Chains A and B, each alone.
Chain A
Amino acid sequence: MNKPVGTQKRIIASKHVKLGQKNAKGQTYTDINDIFYNTEQKPVFFTGSEVIKEAIRRASVGTSVAYPITPQSEAAALIGELYAEGYLDEYFRGESEFAVMGQCAGAAFGGHRVFTTTAGPGTLRAMENFPMWAGSRLPIQVCVTCRGINSPLSIQPDTLEIHYLLETGMLVWHAETAQDLFDYILKGFIVAEQPDVHVPIAVCCDGFFVTHTKDTVELPSEDLCLTPYDPYKSPVTVMDMESAPIRMMRDPFVMKSNYISYATHASWQQEVQSAVERSRKHTIPMLDGLIDEINTDREVLVVASGTAVSQSREAIRLLEQEGIKVGLVKIKTIRPFPKEEIRQATKNAKHIFVPEFNIAGWLAREVKAILPDNERVYAGPHVAGGMTMPSEVIAEEIKVHLGIKPSPNRRRP
């Protein structure tokens, strides 16, 4: 479970005219700060999929569009049950992930809060939509329950798809546990919808490990829900013909090969990037920082995201028993990437290990790219294709690399 967040930190004002009123289901629209920090949280023992449902029950979502793909199918179907009970205005099955993301975009253009889920090949099928969402400033949330994308067909856990999301202009958060998933889904809406952010968000988790296992999660009362999305706070026009339809431009930029056109596109790309960066100030109080640090004064550190963090926690405990002291940095947001925080947290480290559930080692690359003396970074251990990463494997690899234990692969003379 996450570190508790101090209630003294008042997050952003999610003040809304509806605060305190009740919705059709009898839930009270409540400020996100109060939902998390000023009301009782009760423990439940749920699967990750059920946790997604419970988050959406409290999220005042307008539209959700579903499409089956393991391991998110259960969550997507559970949201359908919420719709049938009257918690959402609209819900239906689309015809493909590409279409689903378009349907989500249409709903968001029209002013709804929108949630969807996808995974693996679905994420890649949908890919063209993600930069479109960001460029159109649609604060849609997609929950990505990562799985393999390779051929031959795989449905196993693998986080390679997150790599493809990094430059889409979306916020990308990576949940370690079911508790994170619940928190990030609700908090993600609030951060993504801030007028000075207003970009889409991918809340990622490791498929199966989080979606299909049961965990103890503390939930606020189901009588509380987020204040609804206010489309008229959007920095771009809502497509509902409730405001003057202006003529947007004399010369559509798409067809012009001139400096004004290039500059327009370039500055809009910069603006989307800046919006992602601006999310930091809302996210830091909301998630109690973009990273968590444990014993980062130590010379050996593990830097990780997702369930690789949980496995590393246990590996660190095992190493500690042998007298090897290792610290931990948990990265919660991959976009914006917590550059400064990681630099600070690793400034005394001599060895930095980045364990990952994918073959590319994209997190290690990200970490290497921002650190001075990046020969300190060891990209591994990696597993892929659905393999588990036992804590012993992490501990072993750390010992081998530190020269405490000989390499099992070393040739005998």
Chain B
Amino acid sequence: MSKEKIQLCEEFASIMPPEYQELVESATYGKQDRGWKDIGSSKELIEQHSLCAGCPESIAFRYILASLPNPEDTVFVGSTGCTSLVFPHVAVQNIHSLFGNQNAIASGLKRTLKARFPDVEKDVVVLAGDGATVDIGLDMTMQSWFRQEKFTTICFDNELYANTGGQESGLMQKGFVAKMAPKGKSFDKVRLAEIAREAGCAYVAMLTVSKPNRVEEAIKNAVYVAREIGPTFVQLYTPCILEIGKQSMEGLDEMKDSETIGGRFVQKEFITEEAQKLIDSIKVETKARKKSAKDAAKAAKSG
């Protein structure tokens, strides 16, 4: 639980790039209550991104990386798509192998890490686009849930295939005119959150990334529940502003519109009883820990 693994050898410290130096100095690896509020005051685990300016995927990445409970023992599994342009800049180990096989990779990886490190909690987190999660990879996505593989699946739902130029995807809205859907998409947006619940996910959340505290909570819940209970799924609306014809500053409004009453992304959660108990107990623990830390700080001040 520390920055031990990234420490610099003194002799070579001066030649290491500044972004690495900053990671050593002020990244939040090992900080127990790390969260989105660290953004701005500590080194983030994402260096840059090569997404379109204003792409909500970039802010989603920042919130997720700030919220992971244990980045020093987390491995990401990605897939081909806009997200794969970001992973090379991320200071958490990550695997890109093929398009759509992310949950198969994560299944093998999680089991191996469990076998190799029986006493360390190694979190595996899948992060892939909607095309990868639902269309080409749905079989492997669902099978990993059926098998109760203990890792978290995050889907960046931008309702189309962004990286290949805006083609129809299963999570696209019905009627939307896109490449390869020249007359408009003919069937409904796939109800992935419900599918996840039925397929055996112990914790499911669907939301936009307009509110960082909500993203933080969903990610933490998903990772904790995956550790103890079973598969978890988080679907995040990260609109592809490029392909839906929005300006770089319009992403936030688009997300806010979609989450108002009657919208496609009104926040929803499906939580099993067992998972809810775990989440509640963690909340109680965290609260107590924060309170005692506060009290200790107060006592130190007055004493």
Contacts from A to B (Cβ < 8 Å): 62-63, 65, 89-90, 92, 94-96, 98-100, 102-112, 114, 128-129, 132, 136, 237, 239-252, 254-255
Contacts and interface: CB of A to CB of B under 8 A. Distances in A.
B116 to A, nearest CB: 6
Interface residues of B, number: 44
B116 A109 contact: no
Contacts of A112: 112, 115-116
A310 B92 CA distance: 52
A103 B151 CA distance: 14
Given A94-B104, A99-B143, A62 B115 contact: yes
B143 A105 contact: no
B286 to A, nearest CB: 23
Contacts of B20: 246-247
A105 B106 CA distance: 9
A110 B47 CA distance: 25
Listed from nearest, the 4 A-B pairs whose CB atoms lie closest are A106-B108, A102-B104, A110-B112, A106-B109
B147 A99 contact: no
B58 interface: no
A108 B108 CA distance: 8
A132 B97 contact: yes
B297 interface: no
B71 to A, nearest CB: 8
B101 A98 contact: yes
A404 to B, nearest CB: 54
Contacts of B95: 106, 109, 239
A244 B75 contact: no
Contact of A255 (B5, B50, B97, B140): B50
Contacts of A255: 50, 85
Interface of B: 5-6, 19-20, 47-48, 50, 72-75, 77, 84-85, 87-95, 97-98, 101, 104-113, 115-117, 122, 139-140, 143, 147
B contacts with A: majority SS: helix
Contact of B112 (A107, A246, A247, A252): A107
A108 B20 CA distance: 28
B19 to A, nearest CB: 7
B292 to A, nearest CB: 30
Of the listed residues B72, B74, B84, B111, the one surrounded by the most CB atoms of chain A closer than 10 A to its CB is: B111
Contacts of A129: 97-98, 101
Given A90-B112, A106-B109, 18 more contacts: A62-B115, A63-B108, A63-B111, A65-B108, A95-B143, A104-B108, A106-B107, A106-B112, A107-B109, A108-B108, A132-B98, A237-B93, A243-B5, A247-B90, A247-B91, A250-B89, A251-B50, A255-B50
Contacts of B88: 247-250, 252
A90 B143 contact: no
A255 to B, nearest CB: 6
A105 B101 CA distance: 10
A138 to B, nearest CB: 9
